[in-house]
Structure 1
Amino acid sequence: MENKIEILYAEDNRDSVELTLAVLENKGFHVRVVPDGKAAWEAFQKRKPDILMLDLEMPKKTGIELVGMVREVDLDTPVVLYTGFATPANEVAALNEGVNDFISKTVHPNVLVARLKNIYDRICRSPQQPYVYQLSVSTVYNSVTRELKIDGNVEVLKPLDGRLLALLCAKCNEEAEQDYLLVGLWGEASIGKSSEVKKYVTHVRKALSADERIEIRSVGRGGYCLCSK
């Protein structure tokens, strides 16, 4: 990594800090560490990082509270929640607040590094389009406008189809569990909606069918994975 990616990392667990620092600094990242949400907010205001990485449960301000504060003044800096509390409800709440990625502390260190580099490449190098997903050399999806562009052809997806694709894009190449999709699509009104997810997956599969590099695979118990080659 020629130019080090700077990460502002808020974490109150010292063991987690030491393990994460060892991984990231070994891969060439520059990491500033703060012990709580209040300190993270103060450090962010003094100097914006390339990526803001937050624990979810922290003293003084939680990760989600801090995301809300950051997004009131800055829509461009990528924010990652890195947490051991990776429940579907927490993940969807974080995405709704403007988090760019939600990473469980149980992932392999190489996956953490790859996800952070992907965030940097996708957002920091295209700062005017933080919610645009480059799914392949031919396919781009804008999760704000719901515009899916494949080989120059543009289709505006219907609201629930677009929301589903955005949820899958946020977990590209990994399993999006059924509960995560249900909460993301319908929130508290998701009871009894399990069978409807398949219908919207069918819609999105059809929209993506022009690009053979992309597929939506069924995985686990009612989950799906957006796979991009």
Structure 2
Amino acid sequence: MPSKILVADDELSVLKIVKYYAEKNGYQVDTASDGEAALRIFREASPDLVVLDVMMPGLNGFEVCEAIRDVDMRVPVIFLTAKGDLVDKGMGFKLGADDYVTKPFEPEELIMRIRTCLRRRDAFPAKRKDSNVIDLGDLSVDLSSKTVVVRGAEVPLTAKEFDLLAFLARHPTEAISRVRLLQGVWGEDYIGDSGVVAVVVRKVREKIEENPAKPHHLLTEWGYGYRLV
């Protein structure tokens, strides 16, 4: 059964080209030209992935993403917008976006991003019926109750420690840059020391790893960022 994709954009030309290339690559596509329609179709069709423009009439893409995340933390969301500055990217990642593609874009690149997000989701499905629980071996992250269980025992984390771990858990095995973590966890308005990321990573490791000096889950990508496996 083909994966279902919802594409929301107020530009008809964008909807047509994304729909054409997505269907050409075997996906089933629904389209919406505003935020309200996007949310209605999301509730009715339960798509496997959502592509959202940021600037839409009515509800904008950020508001739609936030509403989607209220009911489903695991469906991949890709922002597609002409506003490519870091402020918007930071907001998107903070709301739980999986990827960000700026206009003008190559349709095949967008299809590649869609394929990657779906493959990652399929490779790491939640083991429980609750779609807001992400299980990675002996590590379980509950995005609804904001609890973490490691080797059968609940681990107490501060709010920021949980936010960082949850951000990584939404992108299992993907190397996430320090800049992207800073934007997604601390927000676009944060003006402090970027070294705070490494400090919180160290604290998380002390709580979830059997041997923090030789981490099994939260790995360092030297010179780039971190990966949760």
TM-score (norm 1): 0.71
Alignment of 1:194-213 (within 5 A): 194-210=194-210
Tell me, yes or no, if the aligned pair for 1:53 and 1:81 is still in contact at 8 Å: yes
1:188-216 alpha-carbon deviations (Å, 9 max, x no partner): 66322322221111112233434965232
Task: Structure 2 unaligned segments of length 5 or more: list them.
Answer: 103-108
Matched, 1:216 2:214: no
State the AA in 2 paired with 1:161.
Answer: E
Task: Report the 3-state secondary structure (helix = DSSP H, G, I; strand = E; otherwise coil) of the residue aligned with 1:105.
Answer: strand
Matches of 2:79 and 2:16 in 1, distance apart? 14
1:160-200 alpha-carbon deviations (Å, 9 max, x no partner): 21111112223433343334333444446632232222111
Structure 1 match to 2:33: 35
Alignment of 1:1-229 (within 5 A): 3-13=1-11, 16-17=14-15, 20-44=18-42, 47-51=44-48, 52-68=50-66, 75-76=71-72, 78=75, 80-84=77-81, 85=83, 89-94=87-92, 97=95, 99=96, 101-105=97-101, 109-119=111-121, 126=128, 128-130=130-132, 132-135=133-136, 137-187=137-187, 190-210=190-210, 214-220=217-223, 223-228=224-229
Task: Structure 1 unaligned segments of length 5 or more: list them.
Answer: none
Q: How many residues align?
A: 217
TM-score (norm 2): 0.71
State the AA in 2 paired with 1:56.
Answer: V
Matches of 2:201 and 2:36 in 1, distance apart? 40
What root-mean-square deviation, in Å, do the aligned CA atoms of Structure 1 and Structure 2 show? 3.6
1:129-170 alpha-carbon deviations (Å, 9 max, x no partner): 42x2223x3322223434332332331222221111112223
Q: Could you say if the C-alpha distance between residues 122 and 17 of structure 1 is closer, same or farther in structure 2, counting changes exceeding 3 Å?
A: farther
